[in-house]
Structure 1
Amino acid sequence: MNIVLIGYMASGKTSIGKKLANKLGYNFIDLDDLIEENENLSVTDVFKSKGEIYFRKQEHVYLNKVLNSKDNVVLSVGGGTPCYSNNMNVIVNDDNVKSIYLKASITTLTEKLMRKKAKRPLIAHIETEDAMAEFIGKHLFERVQFYNQAEIQVSIDGKTKDDIVEDIILQLF
């Protein structure tokens, strides 16, 4: 069985994914990292030099490649991955995949992203918490219809990573 973690940026897909994989004895793959390795460019540079359409096509290719060739993997995908190229259907219609939406409130996401915005080109220009919350709210509104298709939803609000991993394991098994 493969586990695919989806959710908005800063919802903890990578850090929780690593802990979950370790606890289950699974391999961990971050889809963005896989793309960066194969493209020899950062995601930001792929966007800048080749464009978002190219990136989204590569994202779809590598998502399928991982799901079709690996087993016992925890796969963390980018916040936009479920929203493009029929990717959410690929994820939820694969009998060997359990999809998990790491759900966070706008308040939680705003707090996390204000601390990490310099590393995220999409939001680096946002200066105030109110502007960040507004941006997240609009963006999340567009994406939540995809995220809500996940088989399992786990709230991350006010929980430690270990508690979130335990919640996931309880719902998986």
Structure 2
Amino acid sequence: MKIFLLGYMGSGKSFIGKRLAERIGQEFIDFDEEIEKREKSTISDIFQQKGEIYFRKLELKVLKEMIALEKSVVVSLGGGTPCYGDNMELIKAAEDIESIYLKLNIENLTNRLEKEKEKRPLISHLKKREDLEDFIRKHLFERGFVYSQSQHIINCDSKTAEEIINEIEDRLK
């Protein structure tokens, strides 16, 4: 079985994914890191130098490869990965994938992302907290429909990583 973690940036996909993979003895793949490794470039540099269309085609290619893997893995997808083209349909159609949406409210996402703005090119230009909050609110409005098509939705607000991992394990039994 493959486990795909979905959610907005800052929702903890990579953090939870690494720990979940260790707990259940599966390999962990960070989708964005995989793309960066293949391209020998950061995602923001890929966008700047080759453009979004190039990136989305590459993202689709890597997603199809992850779906086709014949081993059990935990994959933390990029925040936008399921939201483009028919990517979510591909995930849903795969029989050996459990998709899990790590859901956080706008306030918690804002608190988390405010601390790491400089490391995230998509939001590094937002200087005021209210601008960041508005940006997240708009994105979540656009993406929420797609994320909600996951097989499992875990509300991560006011839960520890341990509690989230336990809930994922319970849902997958």
Q: One fold, TM greater than 0.5?
A: yes
Aligned to 1:58: 58
Report the aligned-residue RMSD.
0.8
Deviations 1:65-88 (A, max 9, x none): 122023210001111001112110
Aligned to 2:14: 14
- Contact preservation (8 Å) 1:101, 1:150: yes
Matches within 5 A, 1:115-130: 115-130=115-130
Structure 1 runs, 4 residues or longer, greater than 3 Å off:
none
TM-score, normalization by structure 2: 0.98
Matches within 5 A, 1:111-150: 111-150=111-150
Letter in 1 for 2:69: S
What residue ranges of structure 2 are gaps of 5+ in the alignment? none
Deviations 1:5-47 (A, max 9, x none): 0000000000000001011101000111111111111111101
Deviation at 1:131, TM superposition (A): 1.4
Letter in 2 for 1:139: H
Letter in 1 for 2:23: K
- Contact preservation (8 Å) 1:7, 1:102: yes
Deviation at 1:129, TM superposition (A): 1.8
Aligned to 2:108: 108
What residue ranges of structure 1 are gaps of 5+ in the alignment? none
Aligned residues, how many?
173
TM-score, normalization by structure 1: 0.98
Secondary structure (helix, strand or coil) at the match of 1:4 reads: strand
Aligned to 2:49: 49
- Contact preservation (8 Å) 1:57, 1:85: no
Aligned to 1:77: 77
Secondary structure (helix, strand or coil) at the match of 1:101 reads: strand
1:155 corresponds to 2:149 = no
Letter in 1 for 2:8: Y
Cα distance in 1 for residues equivalent to 2:169 and 2:69: 23
Deviations 1:82-137 (A, max 9, x none): 11121101111100000000000000000000000000011011122211111100
- Deviates most, 61-70 or 19-28: 61-70
Secondary structure (helix, strand or coil) at the match of 1:3 reads: strand
